[in-house]
Structure 1
Amino acid sequence: MTLEILTSDALAPLRHGFFTRRGGASSGVFAGLNCGGGSSDLSEAVAINRNRVAGAMGVKNDRLVTVHQVHSAAVAVIEALPETPLRADAMVTRQPDLALGVLTADCQPVLFADHGAGVVGAAHAGWRGALGGILEATLEAMEALGARRAETTAVIGPTISQRAYEVGPDFLDAFLSEDPDSARFFAAGHGDRMQFDLPGFSLARLRGAGIGQAAWTRHCTYSDPERFFSYRRSVHVGEADYGRLISTIRL
């Protein structure tokens, strides 16, 4: 099966892609293009998958850069290949021979670009990162490299949608204590449960930060098992582990 790569016109003409799980070498619960070295998948299969992604992005295998994601607001400025993966949840660069990649399985992959300034970024934004400011921090790091906020585009890739994202009262309180207006991103669920709109929240944060354009591809990871890995779905069906999708961008 060939690779399936979702793209956004908003990021054209830069080479980028939100890769689905199709077209990989992994099997079992990881079947397809699992690019997560932190999973219990065979390391050989993950290496093959990452090499296929690098090839699709037109870079050498070692030029596909990922970080050790920790649900933070830390951004790494990539000017050369790091010897070991950096602890961060976003990267920015102005180097043309590097592809920045983030791994997700319900959290948001967010690709950034100011094509005119020659600066790109990639962020892993779960609820903790989005609430903690990873999106704004990525914009600030891009500006430090010469990007212009009003000329920057950000596109959120496949992520868990509101209808699949059930949360409890403590989760809601964490957002309301930060900003009471965040209540608009929660819909009533069963009992005391709520349904959280993670991409809606993140789009509002990006637009509030003054970005030029922000969009979501409108793909839900939870509801499409043929195309996407999903941590929450794997828990609900009792799987022992789960694969990680990769999303990448380069100059």
Structure 2
Amino acid sequence: MKANRLLEVCVDTIKGARIAAENGADRIELCAALSEGGLTPSSGMMSAASGLSVPVYAMIRPRSGDFRYSDVEKELMLKDIRAAEQNGMKGVVIGSVTDADRLDTAFLKPALQGTALNATLHRAFDTLSDFKTAIDDAVSVGFERVLTSGHQNTADEGCTVIREAVRYATGRISIMAGSGVTPANAARILKETGVEELHASCSMRQCALPASREVQLGFASATGQKLTDARLVRALRQAVDVR
């Protein structure tokens, strides 16, 4: 019998990290600002999450927007990798691309060679036109996995490319499907793509009070905050385990 499929849950609060770990996540992607696609979490947050019962990988992304980074930003990313090491992370989630729409191997390879941490290539992969070249580059750099939605907005829509990526990468690097993964579509994504790892936020939106001072002063969104939901983690865990 095959080993259990893996469920990774991305979170941007320490409470969310604990909920994910306690309700079936195999691994946590720790971020700040998931509303911006995920940014580097603080050293304090990394330290707090390091004692959880499952491996925690820290997002290394210095800003929102594209993945073409300046030399100053790359230096910051290297410092953040060191912070992840010092604060007990088991891995990092990182990506960088060139103006030629290739993976930035000149930066990423020495960055990963300079750390003992494992590494996931995040969805910067989905911005690259040639997924086979991107997989080859990811292997050469030293990534252990690629997170992808199959070049579409959601993994459900990108099943065809994800399946092709799995076939092309087999034996060299793991392909993890993510973006829009829910208990309702997880089984279909797993079956149609052949991936053994799924990535999801397992979050629900908590409505804000429009009249609250936090909303009025711009500290909170009027549409509310998305928070990790224990029921969704458990439901997705169950969906992932069904074969």
| TM-score under structure 2 length normalisation | 0.34
**Bigger RCO (CA 8 Å, 6+ sep):** 1
Greater helix proportion = 2
| TM-score under structure 1 length normalisation | 0.34
